[in-house]
Amino acid sequence: MVKKLSAEFIGTLWLVLGGCGSAVLAAAFPNVGIGLHGVSLAFGLTVLTMAYAIGHISGCHLNPAVTLGLWAGKRFPASQILPYIIAQVLGAIAGAGILFIIASGKAGFSTASGFAANGFGDNSPGKYALLACLVTEVVMTFFFLTVILGSTHSRAPKGFAPIAIGLALTLIHLISIPVTNTSVNPARSTGPAIFVGGWAITELWLFWVAPILGAVLAGFFYTWMANDGTNEPDIVGDE
């Protein structure tokens, strides 16, 4: 279990450092900024690379919503949910901390610009209202878990799950960055929010409730749709 939790810690750290780091450091860099497309790809690449690196150790959840969705889909034991979530949140905070140290090395840096935090209303990149942001996060996480559950199913092609999952997360970001800055991951939202404080902490509840709701719904739905009555592998491990 210690090795599994260490893998989840390191993996979630990488997700936040790579994904949020691309948004904070590179998205609007003069002349060669990577923009929305680059940030979307960066988030997908963090999951894809870590799925191959640690999937066989911990299942590469990197996300409390994924852990709970896999539990709902009969892929993960309830006894390990809390330790996994704690490791993921700590990893996300560590990743945001490393990013803060790097970003603050530039004169004039301030978390007031958002620091890749998620928000709604006035703090939504496109100023989308609460309901729109809630629906976006629920639906995007629902489909993210559907892809995870489907691509890691015992009847799915072997070895391709990380690619499908990484591309799904890329697509999700392409759709929803303008709406919420894209969460679909409570840990990813928590890390930057701690450093931004204020509004980011106040609005953090949405980015726990909505992704978890979408993930759990997907877990129950996919189990019914696939007519699964037995346990399947976590994500990419033990396939």
CA distance 40 to 16: 13
- The domain that holds 32 is classified in CATH as 1.20.1080.10
Domain carrying residue 60: 2-225
The answer to whether position 233 is within a domain reads no
The answer to whether position 239 is within a domain reads no
What tens digit of pLDDT does each residue of 30-39 get?
666 788 899 9
What tens digit of pLDDT does each residue of 81-113 get?
999 999 999 999 999 999 999 999 998 888 888
The answer to whether position 77 is within a domain reads yes
Q: Do 182 and 176 contact (CB within 8 A), yes or no?
A: yes
pLDDT in the model for residue 113: 80
Residues of the chain above pLDDT 90, percent: 83
Q: Do 19 and 118 contact (CB within 8 A), yes or no?
A: no
pLDDT in the model for residue 155: 86
The answer to whether position 12 is within a domain reads yes
The answer to whether position 118 is within a domain reads yes
Q: Residues 6 or more apart from 93 whose CB is under 8 A from it?
A: 190, 191, 194
**Which has the minimum average pLDDT: 80-84, 156-160, 161-165?**
156-160
The answer to whether position 232 is within a domain reads no
- 28 pLDDT band, cuts 50/70/90, is confident
The answer to whether position 14 is within a domain reads yes
